[in-house]
Amino acid sequence: MITIYTTPSCSSCRKAKKWLDDHKIAYEEKNLFNSRITEEDIDRMLEHSENGFDDIISTRSKVFKDNDLDIDDMRISELKAFILENPSVLKRPIMIDGGKLQVGYNDEEIRVFIPKRLREMIMCEDCPNGDNCDYQSILKQYFAELKDKQQSH
């Protein structure tokens, strides 16, 4: 399941959640201000990032500037402790699922979270209509399949 780290005032977070909701993709939301993140959360973010802390920390954030910090001068344990005390330094939203990580909201990149069955339908694998499907009709067909599965369970 996708974990999405958000804050209430983040418009990109709202866009990402709306996209996930519109595609009926389940997620667990962790509001950075309401529920404390853990060192395990940070480790999970780092495990899936390409550039480590640079991918997840906003060095332009007020708290980062107020403390006059240089990310390159800090030990990993110091950075983790700083994030735990000041979760607002994290970029938002941060979405993780399996080996996939997305930081921020991007219309194209968020599509990595499309479920396998929907991807197959979009690629017209086993499609009775051939290449004559548009995205909205594929979504309707996918949602109908989900509904049928739920009703049969």
Active site residues: 10
Tally of residues, the chain? 153
DSSP 46-84: HHH-SSTHHHHB-TTSHHHHHTT--GGGS-HHHHHHHHH
d(CA 139, CA 115): 12
Q: What three-state secondary structure class fits 124? A: coil
